[in-house]
Structure 1
Amino acid sequence: MATPYPSSGSLPPVRKRRLLLRWSTWLVTAAVIGYGVAIAMHWDDRGLLWLQERFESVSEQQASIWLPGYTVDIDAKVLPGMEDDEASDLAYDPKRKTLFAVMGKNPFLVELTLDGDVLRKLPLHGWSNPEGVAVLADGRLAIVDERDHTMTIVSLDDSTQALNIKDFTQYDLGPSANQNKAFEAIAWDPRNQRLVLGEERPPRLFTWRTDGRSPLTGDKQPLPSDELDLRNLSALGVDPRTGHMLVLSADSNMLLELDERGEQVSFMTLLGGFNGLKKRIPRAEGVAMDDQGTLYIVSEPNLFYRFRKQ
């Protein structure tokens, strides 16, 4: 008669110790990995901000953008014919009531309706890697080229079919801590009469004074960036109603709201299941907000999202 295999409760002491050691090793490894991921994703900071949000009064929420109150109503709409172009940024034009998106891989500017429909595509001749765009005043736009470390102020109207960098004034943005992850983000802050510029990694903010019409003078100035506990900085936006800043991070799957003092107010997680999203936004690279408080995001390769306040 065959001897039955011993149950786990009757394992020899040596084997029990080996199993316990193996399980404890796996648990410690999982805990270390989990802790590392939490730190890398800044989940500890997001947890503190989430708790802080729970205590915000209704009046405080109404005085801010308040990202938890937004729900997607256009989810991953495809921008036709741009799957190989890499949508890199987005800006709202309050005069035209349209959006401008810049494409980085094959440089061109595209004008969109607020529903994400393409109105026109403008080739950008002479740009290497345009990554940021901001709408200024009187038909002026600022375009940041990450590879060349330059910002170009361009002008366009309804008849414009293409833009050549040689026709416009360029500004040197200077060296970055990481030359391969340099200036990528830009936004126009009309309330404070300034451009806000952002370096991708490590995330840093700068401002440059301008009325949006006159040539830029002086140089950019550093802005406190202590609240940018993000893995990278992909794009910037400014809410024209409150003056609060939107800071987008593709690597952290996060959109932050900062007040005029640079302090965190609220955040949105760009993962599936949050704020009505069916799936994670693959790589969020551009953000804009219109004068009605509607939020827009573009993602590589060619996806368009719109969020409305509920």
Structure 2
Amino acid sequence: MSNWIVRLVRLRLRWLIAFLLLGLSAALVANYRHWDDRLYFWFQELQVGAAEQQQHIWLPGYQAVLQGKPLQGLEQEEVSGLTYSADSNTLFIVTGKSPQLIELTLDGQVLRRIDLHGFANPEGVEMLADGRLAIIDERMRTLTTFKLEALTRSLEFAELPSLDLGFADAGNKGFEGIAWDSRNNRVLLGKERGPLGLFSLPFPGEDGATGVMQPMGGGHLFLRDISSLTYDARTGHSLVLSDESRLLLEVDEYGEPVSFISLARGMNGLRGGIEQAEGVTMDAQGNIYIVSEPNLLYVLHKEPAAASPTLAD
């Protein structure tokens, strides 16, 4: 065999190996980012009719109406968690650098700041029944509950009832999401990762005691992490926020995916992507609020007619 034929064969072999490696790399990236799952689910969304959409939150119908508004005075903080209080028609967030519980107007004006003494790393906050609030401390692996009075300006962890959530070896990959399921009188919890998962906790049980935390069955969530949760009593569905996937996912009461939107630039009216999304909640009208680090607020509003589903990075 002549030298030029040998060189040609070697060149083609190198190109074939390079092509195979490129294809393998693309497949690994797609699997890591769950692009294949998003594509499959996007096609499933296309089959959902208008009547069925009305039974869901149906995220593809939402558009951003407030984008990246800075929360004044919180520039140096790391905002996390988000909940809506129907009694006061306000929002609550928690901060991590200097632990605080902060009450906001619906357009992001700071109303009051409450120091959280003894807390290490508050990541989630949720309005429960009977005017109680709950805070999840990821580092301490605790769920702490309390009633907030109008004049409260500080809270002491040691003076509040707390529940150990377990997963002692979770480190900084513990529980971040919390939502109150008012239909079933239970707390829904989202574990960030390692492993990622949704859990339910009957709360309270008989004599004020909690029940046993159970993993929710659910399907494949195609998320890389869970940053926050919120619950919609109108539909019985929940929203799951993922920072790393830049995704907001609707799941049913069993944790099965129902609809989703990307939080990337250009999707659902977003002029810029939502970076480091850390908290999500809904108000009584179904508006969706999202906070992202370090101190930005976003609001999404449901359009009268559902828009087409979105697929993006």
TM-score over 0.5 for the pair: yes
Is it true that 1:194 corresponds to 2:186 in the alignment? yes
Which of 126, 143, 164 is the aligned partner of 2:156?
Answer: 164
Distance 1:130 1:216 in 2: 23
Residue of structure 1 in register with 2:69 after alignment: 77
Match of 1:218 among 185, 190, 211: 211
Partner of 1:148: 140
Gaps in structure 1 of 5+ consecutive residues = 1-11
- The secondary structure found in structure 2 opposite 1:251 is coil
Q: Tell me which amino acid in the other structure corresponds to 1:145.
A: D
Correspondence for 1:68: 60
Residue pairs, 1:83-232, within 5 angstroms:
83-175=75-167, 178-201=170-193, 202-210=195-203, 215-232=208-225
Report the TM-score, using the length of structure 1 for normalisation. 0.90
1:161-211 residue CA offsets vs partner (Å, 9 max, x unmatched): 121112211111112563330111111111111111121112112222126
Q: Which moved more, 1:76-85 or 1:284-293?
A: 76-85
Q: Which residue of 2 aligns with 1:7?
A: none
Give the TM-score normalised by structure 2: 0.89
In the alignment, structure 2 segments of 5+ residues that lack a partner are 304-313
Report the AA paired with residue 221 of structure 2. Answer: L
Aligned match for 2:281, one of 276, 288, 291: 288
Q: How many residues align?
A: 299
CA offsets 1:59-118 (integer angstroms, 9 cap, x no match) = 111110010111101111111222332111101111111111111222111111111221
Partner of 1:5: none
- 2:60, 2:259 within 8 Å by CA — same for their partners in 1? yes
Offset of residue 29 of structure 1 = 3.1
The one of 230, 252, 261 equivalent to 2:245 is 252
Which residue, out of 282, 295, 302, partners 2:295? 302
3-state secondary structure, aligned to 2:43: helix
Match of 1:41 among 8, 14, 33: 33
For residues 80 and 14 of structure 2, the distance between their equivalents in structure 1, rounded to whole angstroms, comes to 47
Name the counterpart of 2:306: none
2:263 is matched with which residue?
270
Percent of paired sites with the same residue = 50
SS at match of 1:138: helix
Q: Is the 8 A contact 1:176 1:183 kept in 2?
A: no
The alignment yields a C-alpha RMSD, in angstroms, of: 2.1
Structure 1 residue 257, shift from structure 2 partner: 0.4
Shift of residue 264, structure 1, vs aligned partner:
1.0
Residue 266 of structure 1 aligns to a residue whose secondary structure is strand
Q: State the SS of the aligned residue for 1:246.
A: strand
The equivalent residue for 1:8 is none
CA contact (8 A) 2:136 2:144 kept: yes
Q: Distance in 2 between matches of 1:307 and 1:176?
A: 36
Change (3 A) 1:74 1:307: same
Give the Cα–Cα distance (whole angstroms) in 1 for the partners of residues 99 and 111 of structure 2: 17
